[in-house]
Chain A
Amino acid sequence: MKFKEWLLERFPIDYEKFVEFNEKIFIKEPIPTHMKKWLFVMGATPLIIFGFQVLTGLFLTFYFMPSPEMAYESIRHITEDVRMGYWIRGLHRWGANLMIISLLLHMTRVFFTHAYRKPRELNWIIGVILFFLTMTISFTGYSLTYNQLSYWATTVGTNMIKEVPLIGDLMLFFLRGGDVVNTNTLTRFYTLHVMILPGIIFFFIFLHIVILRLHGVSIPEGFEEKYYSFYPHHFYKIIIATLFLLTLMSTLTVVLPPGIGIPADPSVTPTHIKPEWYFFPTYRFLKMVSLHVGIYATAAFVLVFTFWPFIEPLLSKEKRKQTIFSRTAGVLTLIITLILTIWETIVI
């Protein structure tokens, strides 16, 4: 007790109020009973993984050097020479993949349980923004490996920015820091990947959680409106999820360690350029139609997807019909995404 007093003297907060606040906000946070089902833990998963990504990413910055001459070599060094380097890199790489998978699952769950509906529309939009931010941070991270595949995926990926009306060319030049992917692109992507994007993601996560807490977790249809305290049950659940994820990522790192590929060669365009798997649906779609049509159609889809909570009520006034519309749109999106992904995976 002596230490507590010593500390309170120097950090004079109202301890009783602090305990009360802590109990209210964390310990006794009302968790609806449906959350006892594992299916509904998918919201916390990306958050846990994001924590891992920050931690492993920090370790990687100890060795990674964002220059064309050194990027590939430093990744090789991390993977092959640095003690436990392959593990940290494996966690980071698998973390990126699992984060996207868990986000997709979380969004699917939210969509099909209609958790985005009034009054939670804004949180849906923030969630969608977080999803696209995650895609962007993954894209910039992949580019940093500077191997032949990532270099050309970056070239092709950034090329699309050119299609933005009026300022496309300027934006592309600004992002790349030149006409082609070069030293400047690498340093820009590095700053984006380790500072700007994580900062923005932090902000949106904070907003996402604040709004969630203000509304409380939405209760899907068919579940009772009963609650239990965050601690210990849900707290343990999160610990379990953390342990499970760390085990899973470690195992994946050992079984399927991320390779380093061959060094980027700007003078040799590979015969087959492919982005990371989570861009497969878009990539396949862009190859099917003209670039213009493809990009505008994708942009339209993204807009509809983002503002779906506001669009849904416009389609029908009846809740039942809204649900039918949503389910149909959701199932169609899922099927098309899946088909495009599989298609792109199996074709050369």
Chain B
Amino acid sequence: MDTVKAQQWLIGIFSILLIVALIIVAGVEMKKSRSFKPEIEIDDMSAKCITCHEKKGIAVKQIDAWKESKHAVSGTGCYECHEAAKDDFDAFTCTGSDILIGRHPTPKDCAKCHEQQVAEFADSKHAHQFWLLKNADRAVFENPIATRHGCEQCHNIGNIWPDGSVGECDVCHAKHSFSKSVARQPETCGECHMGPDHPQIEIYLESKHGNIFKAKSAHWDMNYTSKQGEPIPLEVPVCTTCHMEANETQPLTHNVSARLAWESQMTWSFRTVWNEEELGNWQKKRERMEAICSSCHAPDFYKTYLLTADLVNLQYNEIRRQFVYWTKKLTKNGKISRLEVNGKFYSDPVLNGWDEDPEHLMYYGWHHEGRRFRMGAEMMGADFTQWHGIWEVQEDLMEVIKWAAEHGDTEAKKIAESKHPAKFITYALYDMPGNAWGIPTKTNTTPFVYNNYPDYWDRVYKNVEAAYQRGLLSDEQWQIWLDRYENKEYYLGNKFSNSPVVDSTFNVYKKRNEYDLKKMKEQVIDLVLPGKSFFKGRKF
């Protein structure tokens, strides 16, 4: 071993070994560079479908999508889902072959492998065709052809199929990739949860959650598997994170109703009783949601936030009570009437009306503005709570009262003609001492009700207490509210509103504002142009 010859031999041997090692390294590299696409083994049956479809150019993109799916990798081909028996409602023999297939794989087909997910979904409100149960034949107002691609496209998520199964999985898990990342995209939920009546996607995008998501999510892996006991792998939640997905303590669920505490899409906001036997009462559902909040936030924040949103829901009910009062009264007095054919009503004084202003305004005050008010408050959409919410709800109510006054209702006339600001608040109020965001120092010094009703907080106290006693707020929420009530000077910021340090900061802006107003007057208000009006002096 000591000779030069031996050394040379060793060099030779190790050179060969190194070359072998490098070939292996290169082999791994090549496999890696090719393994971006998973290996797919196509069985004979699927191969038949694919060959024929590609040859005829029918729905070939769907095949590409399938190739990207987990189904493709796990050996779930075409026939596994499209299999059909002769008597199946959707069975047909595929053109140019003798293969009997089902045109519409339903949740029953998905349940062959995804039983739990399908069962959870069927137990959710996604699967509930509520609009069929109460008279709201919208086709009297909106043409049936519109509903085909309108209502029915979204509400197909709760379709009851001829095979008795309910739902449509690919509404969220777009076929044929059935990708988790597509299902997770907020825009997927936003396909339906958008627009004037339930703008959840717009609310989400207005929220801090949505803002951060838009800014940072471009490179996030949204295709992860959500597992109980593992932290949420996203910096901010998407829709599914809070409503469906697992975290350290919660399991993943396809029951979107399992974590909701309100029925805030309804005419009245009420605490949900959806499948209480298995899902528990609203407090249990709220606990589940809070468990998700707690992955990122401190309890003090999210409990205060949610309690405030709950009080918004309760406040909505009081305004709703006004709408119902006026439309009922106007109907009773014959000022407005219901649509009727052969003893069957096509409108309802408390639900919808299509032809007369008060009915229409009441409908908007619930179905559009009233929902925005509540849903904005629940999901951090400030503008939807305020301008697209309460502002428009109030306008609707004022219009109803004005309409009643113009049509001879003396009580309405009294309100319409009143010069007192309380004319806008013909109902009881809820309130929260302060907010979840911090301690304001000046904002609570101006509101009309605070300054003109010394018993304001006593009234609010009684209202919140009444809601609590009715079971609309939990013990814990009542305690949180009481704590704030007892320290309201602190939480409202009044304690600090006249402190020198606050005043000195405030005065800076006050002076700037005075200067702004002065300049606005100088620049534009006092400007009188020499050119005459073109209308002045005309006969027509």
Contacts and interface: CB of A to CB of B under 8 A. Distances in A.
A99 B7 CA distance: 24
B17 A243 contact: yes
Interface stretch (A81-89, A158-166, A285-293): A81-89
Question: Which of A84, A86, A253 gathers the greatest number of chain B CB atoms within 10 Å?
Answer: A84
Interface string A169-204: 000000000000000000000000000000000000
Nearest to A244: B14
A83 B34 CA distance: 12
Given A73-B219, A247-B17, A250-B18, A236 B28 contact: no
Nearest to B22: A250
Contacts of A73: 219
B7 A232 contact: yes
A237 B14 CA distance: 11
Contact of B8 (A84, A236, A247): A236
Contact of A250 (B8, B21, B33): B21
A240 B29 contact: no
A244 B24 CA distance: 16
A236 B32 contact: no
A73 B220 CA distance: 11
Contacts of A243: 11, 14-15, 17-18
A268 interface: yes
Nearest to B235: A265
Contacts of A36: 2
A86 B32 contact: yes
What does DSSP make chain A's interface, helix, strand, loop or mixed? helix
Interface in A224-245: 232-233, 236-237, 239-240, 243-244
Nearest to B19: A247
Interface in B1-46: 2, 4, 7-8, 10-11, 14-15, 17-18, 21-22, 24-26, 28-29, 32-33
A246 interface: yes
Contacts of B29: 83-84, 86-87
A9 to B, nearest CB: 37
A141 B449 CA distance: 64
B231 interface: yes
B7 A84 contact: no
A250 B24 contact: yes
Given A36-B2, A232-B4, A268-B231, A250 B25 contact: yes
Give the interface size class of chain B.
Answer: 20 to 34
Contacts of B18: 243, 246-247, 250
Contact of B7 (A83, A237, A254): A237
A251 interface: yes
B32 to A, nearest CB: 7
Nearest to B27: A254
Contacts of B2: 36, 233
Interface string B404-415: 000000000000
A268 B230 CA distance: 13
A80 B32 contact: yes
B28 A239 contact: no
B3 to A, nearest CB: 8
A94 to B, nearest CB: 12
B456 to A, nearest CB: 41
Contacts of A239: 11
A251 B25 CA distance: 8
Interface string A83-109: 110110000000000000000000000
Given A83-B29, A250-B18, A236 B11 contact: yes
Interface in A45-102: 73, 80, 83-84, 86-87
A250 B19 CA distance: 10
Interface in B276-335: none
B285 to A, nearest CB: 28
A243 B10 CA distance: 10
Contact of A240 (B11, B22, B25, B219): B11
A246 B24 CA distance: 13
B7 A233 contact: yes
A236 B7 contact: yes
A239 B15 CA distance: 10
Nearest to B6: A236
Contacts of A232: 4, 7
Contacts of B24: 250-251, 254
B33 A83 contact: yes
Given A244-B14, A246-B18, A254-B25, A236 B231 contact: no
B7 A247 contact: no
Nearest to B10: A240
A233 B18 CA distance: 21
Q: Which 7 A-B pairs have the closest CB atoms?
A: A243-B14, A236-B7, A250-B21, A247-B18, A240-B10, A247-B21, A247-B17
28 contacts: A83-B29, A84-B25, A84-B29, A86-B29, A86-B32, A87-B28, A87-B29, A233-B4, A233-B7, A236-B4, A236-B10, A236-B11, A239-B11, A240-B11, A243-B14, A243-B17, A243-B18, A244-B17, A246-B18, A246-B21, A247-B14, A247-B21, A250-B21, A250-B24, A251-B21, A251-B24, A254-B24, A254-B28
Interface of A: 36, 73, 80, 83-84, 86-87, 232-233, 236-237, 239-240, 243-244, 246-247, 250-251, 253-254, 268
Given A80-B32, A250-B22, 16 more contacts: A83-B29, A84-B26, A232-B4, A233-B4, A236-B10, A236-B11, A239-B11, A240-B7, A240-B14, A247-B18, A250-B21, A250-B24, A250-B25, A251-B21, A254-B24, A268-B231
